Structure 1
Amino acid sequence: MKKAARTEWWEGLPAGIRDEIDGYVLQGSLLGATRVIVAVGLVPHGIGVGTAQLIAHDRYLHYGDRVARAPESPLDLESLACRAAGCTGRVVAIEAVWDGDTVHDWFVRLLAITADPVGEAPIATVHRSTAERYLGEDEDCAPRHSAAVAAERAGRALAAHLAVPFHFASPDTPDDEAPRWRS
């Protein structure tokens, strides 16, 4: 569905439904907004999840900075070390893994890999905006994704601080199926 058709569909919705969807958007709940759009649009208009996400994305663009966002993860060494110290289990590695969604595009999660018990604990999520704040807006990361550059820099610093290995299987190309850390 093209932008013009999405706009026409949106404008044809009852005000109460538009308010409900916008409420989810303003709370930063893409899933909630998408669920309502599919619920009211699938049967009468054939609007599936993909198109519903595009419609919700249009609303995110409409509201811009008014959308509530989750706070950005700190990437300074002191904060990362504090998070790692709170892990259940002994930290045996720091790993960077790609993830992505329709709101944030690609981003990188920094994880503490633990033993005794075996597991992983989230340390930070590095979105493009987090990376630009950490690296400085003027740093040119091309051709790499700025989130990868920031995650690698912060992750390596944390791993060195903890005297454990750092693992990032795909630092140059977003790949959420790249091989994971194996001890």
Structure 2
Amino acid sequence: MRKQARTEWWERLPAGIREEIDGYVLQDAMFAAVRLVVDVGLVRDDVGVAASQLIVGDRYAHYGDRIARTPDNPLDVESLAYRAGGAAGRIVAIEALWDGDTMHDWFVRLLAITADPAEEHALATVYARMARRYLEEGGDCGPRHPVGLAAERAGGALAAHLSVPFHFASPDTPDDEAPRWQPVAPSETGR
């Protein structure tokens, strides 16, 4: 759906619906806004998910800095270690996993992997805007994806701080199907 068609569709909506959608946008509730646009637009006007995302993106552009953005997760070692300290089990590794969606593009989830119980605990999600801000302190990232580089630096620093392995199967290229961390079996360590 082209910009002009989106604008015309938006202007035909009842004021109450526009206010509700804008309310979600101003709260940085992107998925709720997209869902509402699909709900009101799909049957009547064939406005599906892709067009809804563009319409909501237009509203984000309209409001700009007035949007109450969801705060970024901290990437400093102290904050990550504090979060990791809340894990129920013994931390055996820190892992970085690529993920993505149509609103954020690619992002990386940093996880603490525990044993006893065997679980994963979310520590941070690294999005593009926070990666760029985090990397400003460290200079240019060259050809590397800034999200991957920021996640590698923060996750690697945390793993070193905790004296556990860091696993990031695909730090240079977004890949949400990269192999996951696997503990080393005792027979492989020579014990």
1:164 aligns with 2:183: no
CA distance change for structure 1 residues 137 and 42 in 2, over 3 Å: closer, same or farther? farther
Higher alpha-carbon deviation: 112-121 or 37-46: 37-46
Q: Cα offset for 1:102?
A: 2.7
1:155 aligns with 2:129: no
1:58 equivalent in structure 2:
58
1:108 equivalent in structure 2:
108
CA distance in 1, matches of 2:38, 2:71: 28
2:84 equivalent in structure 1:
84
CA distance in 1, matches of 2:137, 2:89: 36
Higher alpha-carbon deviation: 41-50 or 137-146: 137-146
Gaps spanning 5+ residues in structure 2: where? 184-191
The amino acid that maps onto 2:36 is V
1:179 equivalent in structure 2:
179
1:75 equivalent in structure 2:
75
Matched residues, number: 183
CA distance in 2, matches of 1:128, 1:86: 26
CA distance change for structure 1 residues 135 and 41 in 2, over 3 Å: closer, same or farther? same
CA distance in 1, matches of 2:138, 2:153: 16
TM-score by length of 1: 0.94
CA distance change for structure 1 residues 54 and 137 in 2, over 3 Å: closer, same or farther? farther
CA distance in 2, matches of 1:58, 1:102: 14
1:121 equivalent in structure 2:
121
1:25 aligns with 2:28: no
Q: Which has the larger radius of gyration?
A: 2
CA distance change for structure 1 residues 137 and 154 in 2, over 3 Å: closer, same or farther? closer
CA distance in 2, matches of 1:79, 1:60: 30
Gaps spanning 5+ residues in structure 1: where? none
The amino acid that maps onto 1:60 is Y
Q: Which runs of 4+ in 1 moved over 3 A?
A: none
2:142 equivalent in structure 1:
142
CA distance in 2, matches of 1:114, 1:138: 30
CA distance in 2, matches of 1:61, 1:46: 23
SS in 2 for 1:125: strand
1:6 equivalent in structure 2:
6
TM-score by length of 2: 0.91
CA distance in 2, matches of 1:137, 1:93: 26
Q: Cα offset for 1:45?
A: 0.8
| Per-residue CA distance 1:52-87 (angstroms, 9 max, x = gap) | 111111111111121121111111111111111111
